[in-house]
Amino acid sequence: MANDTLAHKRLTSYLNLVNAVLLVVTAVVYFIEASAAKTFSSTVLALIVVAAALAVVFALVPGKASDAANLAAVPCIAAALAQFLINSINTIADAVSGITMFGSTGGIGYIVLVAGLLAAAMIIEIVSCFMSREAK
């Protein structure tokens, strides 16, 4: 029973806990900034929250069954990133072309920030998928 405490977890569990915190921060930033820019999507927010929950499940729940949570978090993050970028395409197009043609709302800054946070979370999650959770 002592091996199940957080003090005895391997690096992959800590990575998932850090990733869960990163995803919660991303969700808060997305909610605030996308709501202000009137580009909020509940699908994006739900995918981010589900990915954070899956990271916590993998990090804290012992057993082989929770290993699937680590893998399932990756497509959730990827889908959130893809949907977010699709929803932001007007602003991205306006920023790239240097004009306001599509009537974009919001700035490119929060889009780059949220996309960067989601990309970092996805990389952390992918790396942790290749790490062992149990001592060999």
Query: Where are the domains positioned within the chain?
Result: 9-129
pLDDT at residue 1 in the model: 43
Quote the tokens at residue 107.
């700035």
Residue numbers in the chain where pLDDT is lower than 70: 1-9, 102-106, 133-136
pLDDT at residue 135 in the model: 58
pLDDT at residue 106 in the model: 62
Helix (H, G, I), strand (E, B) or coil at 108: helix
pLDDT at residue 7 in the model: 46
pLDDT at residue 109 in the model: 87
* CB of 56 closer than 8 Å to CB of 20: yes
Stated pTM of the model: 0.85
Distance between CA atoms of residues 49 and 86, nearest Å: 19
Quote the tokens at residue 135.
């001592």
Q: Give the residue from 57, 55, 60 showing the smallest Cα distance to 8.
A: 60
pLDDT at residue 92 in the model: 84
